[in-house]
Chains A and B, each alone.
Chain A
Amino acid sequence: MTWLNLHPLTFLVFAPTLLGFVLMALPHKVGKLSRLLGFLGALAIFILSLAWLLGHTPAAGGTILAERAPWFTLVGLPVDYALAVDGLNLWLVLLTTFLVPLTMLGTWNSLKDRLGTFAALFLLLETGMLGALVAQDLFVFYLFWEAMLIPMYFMIGIWGGDERRYAANKFFLYTLSGSLLWLVALLYLANKAGGFNPALMAQAASALSFGVQSWLFIAFAVAFAIKVPLFPLHTWLPDAHVQAPTAGSVILAGVLLKLGGYGFIRFAIPMFPQAAMHYAKPIALLSVIAIVYGALVAMVQRDIKKLVAYSSVSHMGFVMLGLASMTVIGTQGAMLQMLNHGISTGALFLLVGMLYDRAHTRMIADFGGVAVKMPIFTTFFMIVTLSSIGLPLTNGFVGEFWILNGTFLSGFGWGRLYACLATSGVLLGAVYMLWMFMRVFWGPENKDEDSGTHHLHTDLNAREIAVMLPIVVLIVWMGVHPKTFVAASEAPVTALLQEIKAPAPRVFVLKPAVPEAPEGSETHAPDAPTAHEVH
């Protein structure tokens, strides 16, 4: 037990990999056993992470658990094996450990072959995601960031749809292109700083000229923006999402995209504050374009999964807008929106997967009147849809409202205009989601022999309901009492933004927003454009 007490994070990060290798070594014949073992392992990791991360009282700096040891020194650059969970990544870590077993359970019967290998790759992916989230040394972060690609590549490529090879290659190479250029920037800065410690690197960066800082920031930003994905670097996402198996889509939307936003808040913005302030406007502009464009494209999709994929572009645009606002409430909104999107869009992909498993089609036109055949499914889909379009009392509302609020009050010249433009994205979100919902679930039952509705014979079973219930609970919990999920990140976000903008006179506009935000959000509803469109 002593080893475990000293290295809880190492255990959390690498236990999935160990189990994954065991599953990989098991023969194909016992695939069902492997699937069960994988699920139980992931569930155990989730329970452990809950117990360890919520059970520890944070230290003075907000750190909940931390490990740090020198790892190696290569070509003169020391690398520390540094992991930590603090306010910024606590909930993202929990989201990851939560979504992995949930997705495994939710897609229990979706796949027919090579179940053991799939579970193994899923667990390797969990290691990559958790490692990247908790890494406190940029080299270690880079290792996990890149290693994550490998299992995802195989998950899309082996179990994906008809265009899976194209989608897998595109996903891999697109992401790799950003991170390889980022590696050069990383090496450049590490060379100046003499190591990969983020604090040292930030210090070294501040000594560089603004031009160099800008280039480095752009290299960081592009690598992260591809992952988010920010317009116009989003083109890999629809392919990857549509072709990936349900479980892959859920994790892609639920966690992988979050790592882009997390990279900004953890590394890119704190390390290059000046450049981040300078480039806030173009990032915000791209975010607004992503919000509106993603929504418009989603509107015309005929494939439900593709629609959800483009809605991801739109929703992640909100995250980036919140980060670009450089206000506490906007950034906190972005942190919450990341969790929201992980829950809501993850749930949407799960639901679309459940529908597809029954009907073997995802085309909106193939459905109609599903509500008659699958009432329980329809109820869950309705709740998740409402959460996705940001109905008050659901999680989507709070995040988007804070982000818009933060952007409006950012003090940047563009803040008000962009907030208004982004608000139209909320409206469009309601349009495409509800329109899709209407066509699929309501209306007369589609009696056509070839239609999807015709093939729906069973409503959700107990397993599927068990998967959806915790999601619904979270949707409401996060909508009613979001403070649970953002309290931890408030202190680090506030400190970060104060540091960035210390000399700026804008700081006063932040103050009213911070304390009242969690509880006061509903009372603000009439001011928020969000509410009107939804009703």
Chain B
Amino acid sequence: MSLTPSQWAALLPLLIPVFGACVIVIMSLDTDQATTKWIRGAMYGTALLAVAGSFWYLTDLWKAGSQPAFFQLHMDRLAQFTGIFVMVAAALTVLQSWDHFHQEGWVKGETLALLLFSAVGMMLFASTTHFVTLFLGLELFSIPLYALVGTVRARSESAEGGMKYFLTGAVASSCFLMGGVLIYGLSGTFDLAAAASILTVKGLALDPLVLVGAALMLLGFLFKVSAVPFHQWTPDAYEAAPHPIAGFMSVATKGVAFIALLRVFPGSFAPLGALGMKMQAVVAILAVATLVLGNLTALVQSNVKRMLAYSSISHAGYLLLGFVAGTPAAYTGVLFYLVIYLAMNMGAFGLLTAFGLVGEHTTFEDLRGLGWKRPAMGFAAAVFMLSLAGIPPLGGFYGKYMIFRELVGTGHVGLAILGVLASLVSAYYYLRLLVALFLQAPSAEAERLASDRPAVHAPLAGAAVLVCAVIVLAGGFLQYALVDGFAKRALVEGLGLLR
């Protein structure tokens, strides 16, 4: 069995990060890595190179268009979209990690290797409709993340969060696997698209076992997007994880889980029309619960990372509302939303690093008055928070706008009203961060701590934050270009929707 050159080209974006990760693992065998600066530099350089190489080949593929599927691997526009999405997130994470791990005093090469493996798993996860490959992708991106959450072993909370995440994640993976097995048992094929056709032909579309199987698979996705009631791991894991890793999880895990959900449920399971309707009702209820619980709990957080965790839960609610509307335009909105969400959330977590907040010192109190000390970062913070709250003319507004518009268009006016009310609540806790940054003077305690710490130099994290701010601003003024040129093409030429 041999691969044609074009198939090699389609595989390269996956292979390059794997190769880079292996090189980094070898480098990190050097016991002096904590003391020798050039080795650390080489490891980070390799990681960035691997991400850039993968990104480069992905843009090449994007220019060429959708690739024919092989080995159950669909390198279509949607997969390329996912790849670009994940690689941008990974690059931002690597940049922020350099500063964050130096601040924490815990620079280890294996974090980078794990990050790259996870990124490859994510691309695999979102580019297949074959259940085994899907599960492989899920585990390949989840297991490194379990380890990454607990990576700073010097902190006991870190290990605790990692363990929590691992245990709940393992249960969710098992459920996902069970669901796939049920579908396989009834249809006799692992290819989900084929299975859907077979089940329809057999008249088993509404068979209780099929429903259970589909529901268990849905549970797996909902766990990864951290929708209520599968969200409890999120705040603990984010709080335990190093800031850049928390940002990466909040963005990339959620993003690829939504894209894979899009590929499987409205995509592959399209023939099972009636099942789709049942799932839609379930998703609507869960979306409402996610919005209400996520937003209300975020209100009372005193730790910025936990607030961002609940905020990320509530954003899963808005995205799920896009699935409730269920029109091609709504899915376009979901993809656009994810792009903006990538920038604003990676940026928000990057701020913590850029402001030099380490360990547990990530409360609103710790941020007081910092906006004036670092005006550029403060400006970026205002952009991220207002965009997360959905205030025009920033990118976040247009994501919500597209989803709410489709909800109204499909007759779900009540859900749209609930959505805007949730937005209103969210504005309060996002403003709290701006209140801390600009409207409050630093507390005496914070001043003392700041004088104890060495001056913060986080040039790479700062650069990453500014890149994110530019993307969010661009999303507000060139939204149509992003939607038409990127999100819509991924959907049309990836899933064949909107044709």
Enumerate chain A interface residues (CB-CB to B < 8 A): 24, 71-77, 114, 142-143, 146-147, 149-150, 153-154, 157-158, 164-165, 168-169, 172-173, 176-177, 180-181, 183-184, 187-188, 190-191
Contact = CB atoms under 8 A, between A and B. Distances in A.
Contacts of B483: 74
B402 A75 contact: yes
B435 interface: yes
B438 A157 contact: yes
Interface in B384-420: 386, 391-393, 397-398, 401-402, 404-406, 408-409, 413, 416-417, 420
A150 B386 contact: yes
Interface in B402-445: 402, 404-406, 408-409, 413, 416-417, 420-421, 423-424, 427-428, 431, 434-435, 438-440
Majority SS at the chain B contact face: helix
A184 B480 contact: no
B379 interface: yes
Interface residues of B, number: 37
Contacts of A157: 434-435, 438-439
Contacts of A71: 480
Contacts of A164: 439
A76 B392 contact: no
Pairs of residues from A and B, 10 with the lowest C-beta to C-beta distance, nearest first: A72-B480, A180-B420, A187-B408, A157-B439, A75-B329, A143-B392, A146-B392, A75-B405, A191-B409, A75-B402
Given A165-B439, A173-B427, A180-B421, A187 B391 contact: no
28 contacts: A74-B479, A75-B401, A75-B402, A76-B409, A142-B392, A143-B392, A143-B393, A146-B393, A146-B397, A147-B391, A150-B391, A164-B439, A169-B431, A169-B435, A172-B431, A173-B427, A173-B431, A176-B424, A181-B420, A183-B401, A183-B404, A183-B420, A184-B413, A187-B409, A188-B408, A191-B405, A191-B408, A191-B409
A165 B435 contact: yes
A77 B392 contact: no
B333 interface: yes
Nearest to B483: A74
A157 B440 CA distance: 9
B431 A154 contact: no
A401 to B, nearest CB: 40
Nearest to B404: A187
A181 to B, nearest CB: 6
Contacts of B82: none
Interface of B: 329, 332-333, 372, 379, 382, 386, 391-393, 397-398, 401-402, 404-406, 408-409, 413, 416-417, 420-421, 423-424, 427-428, 431, 434-435, 438-440, 479-480, 483
A168 B479 CA distance: 29
B329 A76 contact: yes
Contacts of B431: 153, 169, 172-173
A82 to B, nearest CB: 16
Contact of B439 (A158, A184, A187, A188): A158
B333 A184 contact: no
A149 B390 CA distance: 13
Contact of B427 (A76, A147, A172, A190): A172
A72 B481 CA distance: 9
A72 B393 CA distance: 14
Nearest to A154: B438
A180 B416 contact: no
Given A74-B401, A184-B408, A165 B440 contact: yes
A169 B382 CA distance: 15
Contacts of B391: 146-147, 149-150, 176
Contacts of B398: 74
A65 B333 CA distance: 35
Pick the most buried of A74, A76, A149, A150: most chain B CB atoms within 10 A of its CB. Answer: A74
Contacts of B434: 157
Contacts of A188: 408, 413
Contacts of A75: 329, 332-333, 401-402, 405-406, 409
A164 B405 CA distance: 35
B428 A173 contact: yes
B449 to A, nearest CB: 23
A187 to B, nearest CB: 4
Given A74-B480, A158-B439, A184-B416, A169 B424 contact: no
B463 to A, nearest CB: 17
A184 B404 contact: yes
Nearest to B481: A72
A423 to B, nearest CB: 39
A77 B402 CA distance: 10
B405 A77 contact: yes
A154 B398 CA distance: 23
A188 B408 CA distance: 6
Contacts of A154: 438
